[in-house]
Amino acid sequence: MTWAVGVDVGGTFTDAVAIGADGRCLAAKVPTTPHDQSAGVLAAIEALGIRAEGIDRVAHGTTVVTNLLLERSGARVVLCATAGATDLLRLRRQDRAALYDLAADHAPPLVAADAVVGVTERVGARGVATPLADDVVAAVVASVRGQHPEIVAVALLFAHEAPAHEQRLAAALRAALRAALPAGVDVVCSHEVLPEIREFERTATTAAEAYARPRVARYLAALEARLAARGLPAPLVVTSSGGMLPAGVAARHAAALALSGPAGGVVGAAAVCRAARVPLALTVDIGGTSADVGVVVDGAPLVEAGGDVAGVPIALPRVLVETVSAGGGSIAWADDGGALRVGPRSAGARPGPACYGLGGTEPTVTDAHVVLGTVQARSLAGGVALDAARAHEAVGRLAAVLGAEPTRVARAIIASADAAMARALRRVSVERGLDPRTATLVPFGGGGPLHACGLAEHLGMHEILVPPFAGVLSALGLAMAPERRDGLASVLAGAEGLDAAAVGAACAAADTATDGVHLPDVAFTARVRYAGQGHEVETPVAPGDDGPAIAARFAASHRTRFGFALERPVELVSLRATRSGAAHAIALSRTGDGASAWDDAAPRDDGGTLARTVRGPVSVALPDATLHVALGWTATALGIGGWHLTREG
């Protein structure tokens, strides 16, 4: 039998899930190996206990890029920028780091001021204003060479429209630096990384690509070698936008891997939504220190234009994930205004909640669950024995400060964490014109199924889908997701003036940029706005569309999202092509062996065959999480694994 394997690297654990051709699933959890994640990846695959020859695919979500951006441990980059605009990385968009904290500053840019080389040339909105002269090219090359870079970034004004200057300069740099390092010195151009208007965002993204690329390439090469040595296939790597790239291609899209980890979770939730035929879902992944919130529409993660990662602006498309500092380890405290507060400080994995008995003494959200009995001592995964007495002590001390009953305080701690997460869920949905009341909540991660009912009630939601393997859902989703590549082409033209041939040409350019025309499925999306607007709406493009057809579709979705449309010219900013392979044909199912023996006194779902409906309040132990079914909710075990919850009334 053949298996597809997904491996997700988190801060503490590396998770692996294998899906067999017959729908059987296996899961494993091993400690993450921070110095070289590939060791943990291999260990996790081996912990699954299946033979290497049977594995025909390994899909991988990595935090390598996120970590190197956080640690600022990327490559030494020299940036070539249009003379007169060499400070863009430092100036950003002139917004300050914090509205009221005047001392706060943004993280320093990835390229220091003295590593930026000005290039005397200029392209404007009306074409080339100052040609790029040969002696300028020579001088820039000499200056770059003198800086001994590991890699060079080139980002010139208007290169998204007219890339010729970037191309010429890059060719000269590559030729001159060929011998500078054993592997040569790579040159990264902005028109290739992000062919879109807005010079700061394009330059910053290009700098991030250059900064991350050498180390990412080394990591992926090492991983591939490690897997090959065991007879395993080369990995596919998930991108921030939920794409899935072969390792060799991913190594040249380092900036696109910045949110590989969190994107994997939403990709997993989307796979389960497709299996359960859920049209609109809000997803929440609750871990120890934070909760990640996302949206799944028609079985696909919602993808948007980028923002910051670790203070580094990366404007590439990304799966929408909003992080809230609220999780099982969030610490509850009383502030000087006499209010109960939860987070943002977290006990993390070490010392962890008081009930872990690892030295934590402050009450956390998990401790509140223990006090209320929603998490029971024996139900925690990972072999940690919970010490209920310590949880009671910690919550009791806070209760004394607040002058309230410990169980009331415990309930308030959970309600407060719920409110913070609900606020984020509501924000991500209403900002996109989606009504949470019409959506299904998909909770996962160790804490997701515990908080699901509370969150749903805050948001007026009536349906919850607890996915199978809720504690390792990212890995499951990676195992299921097809290969997928994105390509971008700049358009920036009025929709009125675009005939079907012009739209087709832009689609073809974007498709070529995917570098994946061998993959069978292709879809196109345009970024569209009213002339004068600064924000675009992602609008699907159908074969044969002309500009006005796209404009009409855009107006309809503008009306849905914002409640109005305008009599105003419509502009296409850019086109994105998405090439994908056939989805991995698997059917999730509860398997016969190890059928769950149900015990009303201690409900437990091991993933085996189970037909059961229960009414809240009740807690059900899942293999790696706890499901809390609140009063007023009914839960039914699903045939694909996991649970479906509905609220009465």
Partner 1 sequence: MPRFDPLALGVMGHAIAMVAEEMGAVLVRSALSPNIRERRDASCALFDAGGRMVAQAAHIPVHLGAMPAAVRAAMGRRPGPGDVLLLNHPSHGGSHLPDLTMVEAIADESGTSVIGYAAVRAHHADVGGMSPGSMPFGARELVQEGLVLPPVFLERGGRPVDDVWAIVLANVRTPDERRGDLAAQRAACRAGAEGWRALRQRTGVETLDAAGAALLDYAERRARERLRPLEGARGAAEDFLEGDGVTDADIRIAVSAAVRDGTLHLDFGGTAPRVAGNVNCPRAVVQAAAVFVLRMLLDDDVPTNDGLARAVSLSIPPGSAIDARDGAAVAAGNVEMSQRLTDAIVRALDAAGLPVPAQGQGTMNNVVFGGAGWTFYETLGGGQGASARGPGPSGVHVGMSNTRITPIESLERAYPLEVVHYGIRAGSGGAGRHRGGDGVVRSYRALDSCTVTLLTERRRHAPRGAAGGGDGARGRNLLNGVEVPAKCRLELQAGDVVTIETPGGGGWGG
531: Cα within 13 Å, side-chain hemisphere = 8
Between 165 and 458, CB nearer to partner 1: 458
CA distances in angstroms from 239 to 75, 221, 443, 529, listed in the order given: 20, 17, 22, 26
The correct pick among 1, 125, 179, 229 for binding partner 1 (CB under 8 A) is 125
Between 91 and 183, CB nearer to partner 1: 91
Minimum distance, C-beta of residue 533 to partner 1, in the bound complex (Å): 6
Minimum distance, C-beta of residue 145 to partner 1, in the bound complex (Å): 24
Minimum distance, C-beta of residue 470 to partner 1, in the bound complex (Å): 25
Q: Is 323 in the site for partner 1 (CB under 8 A)?
A: no
The tokens describing 163, both together, are 């890339």
Spatial separation of the C-alpha atoms in residues 619 and 630, rounded to whole Å:
8
Q: Is 337 in the site for partner 1 (CB under 8 A)?
A: yes
Spatial separation of the C-alpha atoms in residues 504 and 523, rounded to whole Å:
12
Query: Under rule CB under 8 A, which residues in 180-219 are in contact with partner 1?
Result: 197-201
Spatial separation of the C-alpha atoms in residues 208 and 194, rounded to whole Å:
11
Per DSSP, the residues of 317-372 read: -EE--EEES-STTEEEEE-TTS-EEEEEEE-TTTT--GGGTSS--S-BHHHHHHHH
Between 11 and 433, CB nearer to partner 1: 433
Spatial separation of the C-alpha atoms in residues 622 and 637, rounded to whole Å:
11
3-state DSSP assignment of residue 519: coil
Query: Under rule CB under 8 A, which residues in 59-118 are in contact with partner 1?
Result: 84-88, 90-106, 113
3-state DSSP assignment of residue 20: strand
Minimum distance, C-beta of residue 649 to partner 1, in the bound complex (Å): 13
Cis peptide bond N-terminal to 569, omega within 30:
no
Contact 577, 523 (CB under 8 A): yes
**Residue that the structure tokens 């979770």 belong to:** 265
Minimum distance, C-beta of residue 532 to partner 1, in the bound complex (Å): 6
Query: Under rule CB under 8 A, which residues in 529-548 are in contact with partner 1?
Result: 530, 532-535
Q: Is 618 in the site for partner 1 (CB under 8 A)?
A: no
The correct pick among 518, 564, 592, 649 for binding partner 1 (CB under 8 A) is 564
Minimum distance, C-beta of residue 106 to partner 1, in the bound complex (Å): 7
Between 106 and 647, CB nearer to partner 1: 106
Backbone angles phi, psi at 52, to 5 degrees: -60, -40
Minimum distance, C-beta of residue 119 to partner 1, in the bound complex (Å): 14
The one segment of 40-48, 304-312, 336-344, 507-515 that binds partner 1 by CB under 8 A: 336-344
Query: Under rule CB under 8 A, which residues in 419-438 are in contact with partner 1?
Result: 419-420, 422-423, 426-427, 430-431
What one-letter code names the amino acid at 16?
A
Minimum distance, C-beta of residue 422 to partner 1, in the bound complex (Å): 7
Paired residues of 15 in beta bridges: 8, 29
The correct pick among 31, 359, 460, 497 for binding partner 1 (CB under 8 A) is 460
Spatial separation of the C-alpha atoms in residues 351 and 329, rounded to whole Å:
9
Each residue 378-417 as x (binds partner 1 by CB under 8 A) or -, in order, gives ------------------------x-x---xx--x--xx-
Each residue 338-377 as x (binds partner 1 by CB under 8 A) or -, in order, gives xxxxx-----------------------------------
Query: Under rule CB under 8 A, which residues in 142-181 are in contact with partner 1?
Result: 157-158, 160
CA angle 308, 268, 556 (to 5 degrees): 65
CB-based contacts of 352, cutoff 8 Å, min separation 6? 288, 329, 358, 360, 364
Alpha helices in 349-484 (DSSP H): 365-372, 388-402, 406-430, 448-459, 473-480
How many chain residues bind partner 1 (CB under 8 A)? 74
